[in-house]
Structure 1
Amino acid sequence: MLITGPDGRVLLVRSSDRPRRWTLPADRLVSGETPRQTAIRGVGDRIGLIPRLGDLLVSDWTTDRGGPHAGALYIFDGGRISSAAARRIGVPGQNSSAALFTAVDELPAYAAPADVRRIDAALRARGEGRTAHLEYGRTPSTLAAMRRFGIVPGVHSGGAAWSWHEEPVPDELPIRHAWAWVFAPDGRVVVYVDDNGLIGLPGGTLEDFEHRNPAAASVREVREETQIEIADPIYLGYLHDDQPGGKAVARVRMAAAIAAIGPAAPDPATGTVHRRLLVPPRLLAELCGWGRGADRQTKAAIGTARALGITEPDPAAPVAEIPTDGTGIL
């Protein structure tokens, strides 16, 4: 449970299994308890005061220290303790035998790094009126990027239904779309985010004058949607879409390196000025909602980038926005 003093300091108690470390007041669930009941009992046992429990601030999927078993760790909001109540468990800012209050910037001197991250997430969640979801003490990269850049949750219509093929598109199969994996020199891939928080690779519908030429369509669409120039896009493959109640179509994927980046400008098709992001390629499928079925496509794109002399970045590399003036990337 997160409890803060009148001056904003965080209440910590001595760790039961690591005496030189301090943690938030906590306990393990016992049979028949809910997490809320455990929090109330655990705090009462540790500090001798019974809290009035608030909302869930943090849910963290983690592992037992030194063991193979995974499980959920919850942090509830215990609110702000009064000066009178605080005096019963120790003087704020000073150590007692079992508890202390510490300033946020001093937490690393007392708590383990993972606990510091969890406490920081709980404080931010309390301030923003939400629940923070963590995995192994950290915000998942996809969720962090969605929150930072205003990407909305959603379900991709073809995430699991489209099948990947690397051979040429059969002559009898209409080519509906061409999308491009556009690689920056550092190996990250360009995606755009529209005004509604929808995200995707740049690309779009082939026009009649493009005569089943996905390379030409991808050059045009990338320029219109992201103001980025690409040259000589390379064919990766296509997604076979058996449209319910309609005719099957091919949705082609190309790959290319950035040749030039212009200032952000309205997409002539929609009038929207898109946000342009750079994403590690192995994060792309999850961020766009394609699912694990995109693994082969991702592998093909990374292999093509490597052939272009572009090294794959760390999957944990940050998602970043291309400046509106287009500078600083090339």
Structure 2
Amino acid sequence: MLITNQLGQVLVQHVDYRDTCLLPGGAADKGESPAHSAGRELREELGVTVPLDRCLAVDWVSPDSVSVPAATRFPGEILHVFDGGTWDDARISDIRLPRSEITAIDFAEPAQLPDLLSPPDARRALSALRARLNSAGTVVLENGCPLAPGVLDRIGVLQTDRPSYRYPWHPGPAPHDRTVTQVWGWLFAPDGRVMVLLEPDTAVDILPGGTPEEQDQGDPVATLRRETAEEAAARFTNPLLLGHVTDPASRRGYLRYAAALTEVGPAQPDPATGHTYTRILATPEQAAELFDWGPATAHQLSAVHQARRQLGLPRAARLPVTELTDPITC
């Protein structure tokens, strides 16, 4: 089972019979269905019962891909990864470990999974996590790799630490005693999804926007327009100020705006970095899962949807993430 906490970190188990960690789960008994087996293992290992009604991935594991004696290898093992959901603090506090086998649990950042799990287990876990985020149904894997990789798999989303800004959320402009160092935009397509940019080398996710420069003359909207044109070759309507987050240590402010996209041109290198970003469309909730913004995320999403309604745009259904490759006019 793939289980996350409210920060998007993945539950892993330390066990007493191997050096690497595991996701919760285990082998099916004779005649037992995969879903029933997963639920039973969860009760035995963590003492928790949750409904399992979604399979994220089915993985065929070749006999020669596992480092065990040939006599004990399965002739093409089939592994199912079920969605165990997002657990709040109350459910996590209900965990009761058995007297043996499971020695501890941790919640790990997705990018840490290759360091904690065996290589095939890490590939499988990340593929399942991307499938959950992508809302594309059950993915079919071979040795942990999707047969039909989507853009999140191809780019390697979540293989690098997510940008972490666990700062308080405040509606309205930043106070005069705060230096605005970043201006970012929630830029909506007509279907209610927003644009997210993926860096080419690390697959780190960012919203369009960036750092104010002298040419912007202190106007944050000018910063957002310039940075969006440079990074994403995109233009948008007059934006609405959502609010800001603040770094308590440095007293820096990071502004957030919302606007409707009007035009997206051909992808081009950002003149500041030389990077050509991959541009994707995702629901605001999917976009938020790509970041590590902490408990204030819910308040920011509330402001995003309020602005979406003001812009007269629909609430997007949770669709598979799509890549923006061709120029469009909205």
TM-score, structure 1 normalization: 0.59
What residue in structure 2 maps to residue 125 of structure 1? none
1:238 equivalent in structure 2: 244
Q: Distance in 2 between matches of 1:241 and 1:148?
A: 33
| Superposed counterparts of 1:1-330, under 5 Å | 15=31, 52-53=72-73, 57-62=79-84, 131-133=123-125, 139-141=131-133, 146-156=152-162, 158-160=164-166, 162-196=167-201, 197-243=203-249, 247-314=250-317, 316-323=318-325, 325-327=326-328, 330=330
Q: Which residue of 2 aligns with 1:80?
A: none
Runs in 1 of length 4+ with deviation above 6 angstroms? 22-27, 30-33, 134-138
Shift of 1:326: 1.6
Displacement of 1:61 after TM fit? Answer: 4.5
User: Take 1:201 and 1:30, find their aligned partners in 2: how far apart are those partners?
Assistant: 37
SS at match of 1:186: coil
Query: What SS does the aligned partner of 1:132 have?
Result: helix
Distance 1:176 1:137 in 2: 32
Q: Which SS does the other structure have where 2:72 is aligned?
A: coil
**Kindly tell me: are residues 23 and 288 of structure 1, through their superposed partners in 2, closer, same or farther at Cα, counting changes over 3 Å?**
closer
Which protein, 1 or 2, shows the higher relative CO under an 8 Å CA cutoff with sep ≥ 6? 2
State the 1:217 CA deviation. 0.6
1:150 Cα deviation (Å)?
A: 2.2
Contact 1:181-1:255 at 8 Å conserved across structures: yes
Once residues 275 and 313 of structure 1 are traced to their aligned partners in structure 2, the CA distance between those partners, rounded to angstroms, is: 21
Question: 1:291 offset after TM fit, Å?
Answer: 3.3
**Aligned-pair CA distance for 1:60:** 2.8
Greater Rg by CA: 1
Deviations 1:205-225 (A, max 9, x none): 011232432111111111110
**Greater Cα shift, 203-212 or 264-273:** 203-212
Query: In the alignment, residue 306 of structure 2 is paired with which amino acid?
Result: G
How many residues of Structure 1 are paired with residues of Structure 2 in the alignment?
Answer: 230
**Paired letter, 2:313:** I
Deviations 1:300-319 (CA, angstroms, capped at 9, x unpaired): 111111111111112x2111
Instruction: Render the CA deviation track for 1:221-271: whole Å, top value 9, x for unaligned.
Output: 11110000113111110111124xxx3110000111011111111111111
Distance 1:25 1:240 in 2: 46
Structure 2 unaligned regions, length at least 5? 1-27, 46-70, 86-93, 96-119, 136-149
Aligned to 1:107: none
**Unaligned stretches of 5+ residues in structure 1:** 1-11, 17-21, 34-50, 64-69, 72-127
| Contact 1:179 1:201 survives alignment (8 Å) | yes
Asked if structure 1 preserves the Cα contact closer than 8 Å seen for 2:180 and 2:255, the reply is yes
Scaled by the length of structure 2, the TM-score of the pair is 0.59
Contact 2:246 2:253 in 1 (8 A): yes
Q: 1:240, 1:249 within 8 Å by CA — same for their partners in 2?
A: yes
Shift of 1:140: 1.3
Judge conservation of contact 2:151–2:323 (CA < 8 Å) in 1. Answer: no
Whether the 8 Å contact between 1:13 and 1:24 is mirrored in structure 2 is no
